């Protein structure tokens, strides 16, 4: 048997790219590749890229530049660019980066084996189609690799919302939901390989409406079907849009024990004027009332969000409305960004705020969010939580995992066999709250 070729994948961007990178590794497994954790000994280096903000794209180009030495040392090395930058700027990458052998978009990566074969013949390959054949179906029977007790599972992809700042509808295409039975099959397969927690992924995951046994199913119905899989202990989903937070999904948060009390519900701004200019089609008040209903169903739920500061025309008053909304919600987790102009999106054409204003607002916003997150985390001290053990910690007998609320928890138990504990749920009494994690002891 010939020695396997080595594949190094670097993943940028969102969780869906993490999922896609695993699928790409599986696809190339059929061409004789095994994954390696370092680029040094790789026969193929693949960048799975993100186009969401300018900074993310710059990072890809600077990392690509650094590959020149690898290619010089190993002329046979193949270099590929996948993901959302590939989709948005594929032809340009081919033109500007002669050392790139292949470019593949997020909807055509199931064709990687044939693209790779072409590059072996010395032909550069570009595929950024939105093909009619379904990548999930093509890759369905490829052996899956066990990667620990938690896994991502893409159930919905693409977006039809067209927020004025966002590239996703262009890079990922129109909103598509996978059929229920395929998702359940993939979930059972993951559980057979030791997975205990599944995070359902979609750019608009709560708009899920995949074909089920009797017409289209909602995300809530899918969650209830997953709830019946023995051995699956935890279900999460991300990312949701406020407008698609349906009654049955809110209700599931109150009744489905496997559905974790954590909800990522981005609002972006607290100003109605800016929300309108962003094409978000909800008001700040709609969002606040929604949060109230979700908390009525599941009082301890941890709310997480995304914010953009310095969107075109944002005044100090608009910005203060965002701060007020944050104070009203009390976030346990949050991601915040300076608005970044993205070519081809409507907001890129508008008059832009100066950088200093964006920087200063981001600083204030992040200070408030950090204070809230710390408060929410500190309140866990003295409480008992369930922790899914994922790995060993740095200290002897120390184990690390996540609570229901997605807080990282360091669990001390000098007698524990950490290897045996991985994948187990532990009852833990929280005894301390640090900068980025909690600590606790086994109950």
Return residues touching ligand SAH (CB under 6 A).
52-53, 165-166, 168, 203-204, 239, 241, 266, 268, 306, 308, 337, 339-340, 342
Nearer to ligand F3S, 168 or 274 (CB): 168
Q: Which CB sits closer to ligand F3S, 170 or 217?
A: 170
Binding partner selected for residue 169 from ligand F3S, ligand SAH, ligand SF4, none, CB under the kind-specific 5 to 8 Å limit: ligand SF4
CB contact at 8 A, 232 and 196: yes
State the binding partner of 187 from ligand F3S, ligand SF4, ligand SAH, none, CB within 5 to 8 A by kind.
Answer: none
Residue with tokens 């209903």: 293
CA distances (Å), 29 to each of 95, 107, 204, 216, 323, in order? 29, 19, 30, 34, 48
- Minimum CB separation of residue 209 from ligand SF4 in Å reads 15
Residues 212-241 touching ligand SF4, rule: CB under 6 A, are 241
C-alpha 443/C-alpha 430 separation (Å) is 10
Q: Where are the alpha helices (DSSP H) in 50-122?
A: 54-66, 68-73, 83-96, 112-120
Q: How far apart are CA 293 and CA 303, in angstroms?
A: 12
Q: Give the CA count within 13 Å in the CB-facing half-sphere of 132.
A: 0
Instruction: Choose from ligand SF4, ligand F3S, ligand SAH, none: what does 339 bind? Cβ within 5-8 Å by kind.
Output: ligand SAH
Q: Is 205 in the site for ligand F3S (CB under 6 A)?
A: no
Residue 337 interacts, among ligand SAH, ligand SF4, ligand F3S, none and using kind-specific CB cut-offs from 5 to 8 Å, with: ligand SAH
Distance of CA 384 to the CA centre of its chain: 28
Q: How far is CA 49 from CA 69, 106, 238, in A?
A: 20, 10, 19
158-to-170, 173, 417 alpha-carbon distances in Å: 9, 5, 43
* Piece of the chain touching ligand SF4 by CB under 6 A; list 135-143, 154-162, 187-195, 383-391: 154-162
Block residue for tokens 């749920």: 425
Note whether 57 binds ligand F3S by CB under 6 A.
no
The residue (of 156 and 403) whose beta carbon lies closer to ligand SF4 is 156
Element (H, E) at 308: strand 302-309
Q: What is the C-alpha end-to-end distance of the chain, expressed in Å?
A: 51
DSSP 348: G
C-alpha distances in angstroms, 88 versus 22, 83, 92, 239, 360? 22, 9, 9, 22, 31
Binding to ligand F3S by CB under 6 A, coded x per residue (else -) over 113-152, reads: ----------------------------------------
Q: Is 156 among the residues that bind ligand F3S (CB under 6 A)?
A: no
- The residue count for binding ligand SF4 (CB under 6 A) is 10
386 binds ligand F3S (CB under 6 A): no
**Chain positions contacting ligand SF4, by CB under 6 A:** 159, 161-163, 166, 168-169, 203-204, 241
Contact footprint for ligand F3S (CB under 6 A): 13-14, 16-17, 50-52, 83-84, 167-168, 171-172
């Amino acid at each position: 048997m010939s020695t396997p070729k080595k594949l190094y994948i670097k993943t940028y961007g969102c969780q869906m790219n993490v999922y896609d990178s695993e699928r790409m590794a599986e696809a190339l497994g059929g061409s004789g590749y095994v994954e390696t954790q370092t680029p040094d000994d790789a026969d193929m280096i693949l960048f799975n890229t993100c186009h969401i903000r300018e900074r993310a794209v710059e990072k890809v180009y600077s990392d690509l530049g650094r590959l020149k030495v690898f290619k010089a040392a190993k002329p046979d090395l193949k270099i590929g660019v996948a993901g959302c930058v590939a989709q948005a700027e594929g032809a340009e990458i081919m033109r500007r980066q002669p050392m790139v052998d292949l470019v593949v978009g997020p909807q055509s990566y199931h064709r990687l084996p044939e693209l790779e074969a072409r590059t072996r013949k010395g032909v550069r390959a570009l595929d950024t189609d939105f093909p009619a054949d379904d990548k999930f179906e093509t890759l369905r029977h490829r052996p899956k690799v066990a990667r620990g007790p938690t896994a991502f599972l893409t159930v919905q992809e693409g977006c039809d919302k067209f927020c004025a700042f966002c590239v996703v509808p262009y890079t990922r295409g129109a909103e598509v939901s996978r059929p229920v039975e395929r998702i359940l099959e993939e979930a059972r397969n993951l559980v057979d390989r030791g997975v205990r927690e599944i995070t359902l992924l979609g750019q608009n995951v709560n708009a899920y409406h995949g074909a089920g046994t009797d017409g289209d199913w909602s995300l809530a119905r899918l969650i209830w079907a997953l709830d019946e899989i023995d051995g699956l202990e935890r279900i999460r989903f991300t990312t949701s849009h406020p407008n698609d937070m349906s009654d049955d999904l809110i209700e599931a948060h109150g009744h489905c024990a496997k559905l974790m009390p954590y909800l990522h519900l981005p609002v972006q701004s607290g100003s109605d004027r800016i929300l309108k200019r962003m094409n978000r089609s909800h008001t700040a008040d709609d969002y606040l009332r929604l949060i109230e209903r979700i908390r009525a169903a599941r009082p301890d739920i941890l709310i997480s969000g995304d914010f953009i500061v310095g969107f075109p025309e944002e005044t100090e008053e608009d910005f203060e409305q965002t701060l007020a909304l944050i104070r009203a919600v009390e976030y346990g987790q949050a991601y915040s960004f300076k608005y970044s102009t993205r070519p081809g999106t409507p907001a890129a054409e508008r008059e832009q705020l100066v950088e200093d204003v964006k920087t200063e607002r981001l600083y204030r916003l992040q200070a408030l969010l950090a204070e809230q997150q710390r408060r929410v985390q500190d309140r866990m001290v003295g409480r008992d939580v369930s922790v899914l053990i994922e790995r060993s910690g740095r200290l002897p007998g120390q184990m690390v995992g996540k609570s229901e609320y997605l807080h990282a928890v360091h669990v001390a138990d000098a007698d524990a066999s950490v290897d045996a504990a991985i994948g187990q749920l532990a009852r833990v009494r929280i005894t301390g709250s640090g900068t980025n994690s909690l600590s606790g002891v086994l109950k």
